[in-house]
Amino acid sequence: MTNPPPADPVTADAPGSAPHEPPVIDVRSLLGGGREIILLHLGERYRLRITARDRLILTK
């Protein structure tokens, strides 16, 4: 009998399991044509922006 794969991809990283690649997301899809967005993480706000030299900066 085989077990079904876990529903939550985070649990797939259990010791002994094959590593998986993290998702790849184009930053332009996050920014929606703008140059910065606010990300919420655990109730904290973080600013992700593209600089004048087209580098990414994440600040709290």
Report the alpha-carbon distance of residue 7 to residue 21 in Å, rounded: 17
Per-residue pLDDT of the chain (60 residues; tens, 9 = 90+): 555 555 555 555 556 666 899 999 999 999 999 999 999 999 999 999 999 999 999 999
Paired with 16 in beta bridges are: none
For residue 48, give the nearest of 38, 40, 29 by alpha carbon. 38
The pTM of this model reads 0.62
Superfamily of domain 9-59: Complement Module, domain 1 (2.10.70.10)
